[in-house]
Structure 1
Amino acid sequence: MFALLPFRRRWFSIVLILTLWLSCQLIFTSCNPAKFKTNAAQVSQWVTGTIGDPKTFNYAFNQEYPHVFLFTAEGLTTLNAMTGKIEPALAESWNISDDKKRMTFTLREGLKWSDGEPLTADDVIFTYQDIIFNPKIPTDWKDGVKVGSSGAFPKIRKIDNRQVEFIFPEPFSPFLYSTTGGSTNSIAILPKHALEESLKSQDANGNPQFLSTWGTGTEPAKIIVNGPYKIESYAPSQRVVFRRNPYYWRKDSQGNQLPYTERIVWQIIESTDTMILQFRSGGLDTVLVSPENFSLLKREEKRGKFTIYNGGAEFTTTFISFNLNKGRRQNGQPLINPVKSRWFNTLAFRQAVAHAINRKAILTNVFRGIGTLQDSPIEPQSPFYTPLRKGVKVYDYNPEKAKELLLNAGFKYNARNELLDADGNRVRFTLLTNVENKTRVTMGSQIKQDLSRIGIQADFNPMTFNTLTDKLTNTFDWESYIGGFVGGPEPHDGANIWTPDGGLHVFNQKSQPGREPLIGREVPDWEAEIGRLYVKAAQEFDQQKRKEIYAQTQRLAQEYLPFVYLVNPLSLAAIRDRLENVKFSAMGSQRGALWNKYEIKVAQ
Structure 2
Amino acid sequence: MKFSAPTGFWRFWTFAMAAFCLVLTVTACNPQGYKTQAARVPQMVDSILSDPKSFNYALINEDPNVAGLMYVGLVTENALTDKLEPELAEKWELSPDKKKVTFTLREGLKWSDGAPLTADDVVFTFRDIFLNPKVPTDIQDVLRIGKERQLPTVRKIDDRRVEFTTPEPFAPFLRVTGGLGILPKHILAETIAKTGRDGNPLFLSTWGTDTDPKKIVTNGQYTIDQYVATQRIIFKRNPYYWRKDAQGNQQPYIERIVWSVVENQNTELLQFRSGGLDISEPIRAEDYPILKKEEKRGSFTAYIGGTRPITTFMAFNLNQGRRNGRPVVDPVKSKWFNNPKFRQAIAYGIDRERMNTNIYRGLGVLINSQILETSPYYLKPEEGLKSYNFDQTKSKQLLKEAGFKLNSRGQLTDAEGNAVRFTLITNAGNTVREAMVAQIKQDLSQLGIQVDINPINFGVLIDKLDNTQDWEAYLLAMGGSKEPNSGANVWLPDSRSHSFNQSASPGKPPLEGRVVADWEAEIGRLYIEGARELDEAKRKQIYGQIQKISQEYLPWIPLVNARVMAVVRNSIEGVQYPESGGALWNLHELRVED
TM value normalised by structure 1:
0.93
- AA aligned to 2:263 is E
**Which residue of 151, 154, 169 maps to 1:153?**
151
SS state of the match for residue 246, structure 1? coil
The residue number in structure 2 matching 1:536 is 529
Does the Cα contact within 8 Å between 1:144 and 1:495 map onto a contact in 2? yes
CA deviation digits over 1:321-357, x for unaligned, max 9?
000001110x210100000000000010000000000
Matching of residue 500 in structure 1 with residue 493 in structure 2: yes
Alpha-carbon distance in structure 1 between the residues aligned to 2:477 and 2:217: 30
**Which residue of 207, 229, 235 maps to 2:228?**
235
Alpha-carbon distance in structure 1 between the residues aligned to 2:306 and 2:483: 17
- AA aligned to 2:587 is K
Q: Which runs of 4+ in 1 moved over 4 A?
A: 23-30
Matching of residue 223 in structure 1 with residue 213 in structure 2: no
Alpha-carbon distance in structure 2 between the residues aligned to 1:578 and 1:355: 47
Deviation at 1:180, TM superposition (A): 4.3
Deviation at 1:477, TM superposition (A): 0.2
The residue number in structure 2 matching 1:298 is 292
The residue number in structure 2 matching 1:44 is 42
Deviation at 1:27, TM superposition (A): 6.4
- AA aligned to 1:307 is T
Deviation at 1:528, TM superposition (A): 0.8
Q: 1:162 to 1:282 in 2, by over 3 A?
A: same
Alpha-carbon distance in structure 1 between the residues aligned to 2:593 and 2:411: 61
**Which residue of 119, 122, 125 maps to 2:117?**
119
Matching of residue 443 in structure 1 with residue 425 in structure 2: no
Please give the residue correspondences for 1:478-557 in structure 2 after superposition, counting only pairs within 5 Å: 478-557=471-550
Please give the residue correspondences for 1:361-440 in structure 2 after superposition, counting only pairs within 5 Å: 361-440=354-433
Does the Cα contact within 8 Å between 1:285 and 1:576 map onto a contact in 2? yes
Q: 1:351 to 1:163 in 2, by over 3 A?
A: same
**Which residue of 309, 321, 344 maps to 2:303?**
309
Deviation at 1:574, TM superposition (A): 0.3
TM value normalised by structure 2:
0.95
Deviation at 1:39, TM superposition (A): 4.3
The residue number in structure 1 matching 2:458 is 465
Deviation at 1:30, TM superposition (A): 6.3
The residue number in structure 1 matching 2:6 is none
The residue number in structure 1 matching 2:447 is 454
Please give the residue correspondences for 1:8-27 in structure 2 after superposition, counting only pairs within 5 Å: none
Any stretches of 5+ residues in structure 2 without a counterpart?
1-17
Alpha-carbon distance in structure 2 between the residues aligned to 1:247 and 1:308: 33
Alpha-carbon distance in structure 2 between the residues aligned to 1:206 and 1:274: 44
Larger Rg: 1
Q: 1:118 to 1:27 in 2, by over 3 A?
A: closer
- AA aligned to 2:591 is K
Instruction: Give the number of aligned pairs.
Output: 575
Does the Cα contact within 8 Å between 2:28 and 2:260 map onto a contact in 1? no
Does the Cα contact within 8 Å between 1:292 and 1:439 map onto a contact in 2? no
Matching of residue 561 in structure 1 with residue 551 in structure 2: no
Alpha-carbon distance in structure 2 between the residues aligned to 1:431 and 1:359: 17
- AA aligned to 1:513 is P
**Which residue of 222, 245, 259 maps to 2:238?**
245
Alpha-carbon distance in structure 2 between the residues aligned to 1:30 and 1:375: 40
SS state of the match for residue 389, structure 1? helix
The residue number in structure 1 matching 2:142 is 144
Q: 1:423 to 1:197 in 2, by over 3 A?
A: same
Does the Cα contact within 8 Å between 2:29 and 2:271 map onto a contact in 1? no
CA deviation digits over 1:242-283, x for unaligned, max 9?
100000001112221100110000111111111111100101
Matching of residue 601 in structure 1 with residue 591 in structure 2: yes
SS state of the match for residue 575, structure 1? strand
Identity among equivalent pairs (%): 54
Alpha-carbon distance in structure 2 between the residues aligned to 1:254 and 1:414: 77
Alpha-carbon distance in structure 2 between the residues aligned to 1:466 and 1:29: 25
Deviation at 1:234, TM superposition (A): 0.5
The residue number in structure 1 matching 2:15 is none
- AA aligned to 1:90 is L
Alpha-carbon distance in structure 2 between the residues aligned to 1:24 and 1:417: 48
- AA aligned to 2:583 is A
Tell me which moved more, 421-430 or 294-303: 294-303
SS state of the match for residue 296, structure 2? coil
Tell me which moved more, 201-210 or 387-396: 387-396
Alpha-carbon distance in structure 2 between the residues aligned to 1:195 and 1:340: 45
The residue number in structure 2 matching 1:592 is 582
Deviation at 1:501, TM superposition (A): 1.3
Deviation at 1:366, TM superposition (A): 0.6
CA RMSD, Structure 1 to Structure 2 (Å): 1.6
CA deviation digits over 1:503-555, x for unaligned, max 9?
21110011121222111111111111111111111112222221111111111
Tell me which moved more, 63-72 or 285-294: 285-294
Matching of residue 190 in structure 1 with residue 180 in structure 2: no
Does the Cα contact within 8 Å between 1:307 and 1:577 map onto a contact in 2? yes
Does the Cα contact within 8 Å between 2:28 and 2:276 map onto a contact in 1? no
- AA aligned to 1:209 is L
Please give the residue correspondences for 1:174-185 in structure 2 after superposition, counting only pairs within 5 Å: 174-181=172-179
Does the Cα contact within 8 Å between 2:52 and 2:66 map onto a contact in 1? yes
- AA aligned to 1:245 is N
Alpha-carbon distance in structure 2 between the residues aligned to 1:140 and 1:336: 24
- AA aligned to 1:70 is G
Deviation at 1:35, TM superposition (A): 2.5
Alpha-carbon distance in structure 2 between the residues aligned to 1:87 and 1:27: 42
Alpha-carbon distance in structure 2 between the residues aligned to 1:213 and 1:514: 16
- AA aligned to 2:403 is G
Does the Cα contact within 8 Å between 1:114 and 1:226 map onto a contact in 2? yes
**Which residue of 320, 325, 328 maps to 1:335?**
328
SS state of the match for residue 179, structure 1? helix
- AA aligned to 1:294 is Y
Q: 1:318 to 1:105 in 2, by over 3 A?
A: same
Does the Cα contact within 8 Å between 2:328 and 2:470 map onto a contact in 1? yes
**Which residue of 470, 493, 499 maps to 1:477?**
470
Alpha-carbon distance in structure 2 between the residues aligned to 1:39 and 1:97: 55
**Which residue of 84, 87, 109 maps to 1:86?**
84
Alpha-carbon distance in structure 2 between the residues aligned to 1:396 and 1:493: 28
SS state of the match for residue 485, structure 1? strand
SS state of the match for residue 550, structure 2? helix
CA deviation digits over 1:418-437, x for unaligned, max 9?
10000000000001011111
Q: 1:26 to 1:131 in 2, by over 3 A?
A: closer
- AA aligned to 1:253 is A
Deviation at 1:25, TM superposition (A): 13
Alpha-carbon distance in structure 2 between the residues aligned to 1:252 and 1:543: 37
Alpha-carbon distance in structure 2 between the residues aligned to 1:308 and 1:574: 4
Tell me which moved more, 398-407 or 287-296: 287-296
- AA aligned to 1:66 is P
SS state of the match for residue 92, structure 1? strand
Alpha-carbon distance in structure 2 between the residues aligned to 1:215 and 1:179: 25
Does the Cα contact within 8 Å between 1:34 and 1:284 map onto a contact in 2? no
Alpha-carbon distance in structure 1 between the residues aligned to 2:183 and 2:76: 16
Alpha-carbon distance in structure 2 between the residues aligned to 1:543 and 1:568: 27
Matching of residue 571 in structure 1 with residue 564 in structure 2: yes
SS state of the match for residue 326, structure 2? coil
Alpha-carbon distance in structure 2 between the residues aligned to 1:520 and 1:177: 37
SS state of the match for residue 175, structure 2? helix
Alpha-carbon distance in structure 2 between the residues aligned to 1:533 and 1:191: 36
The residue number in structure 1 matching 2:8 is none
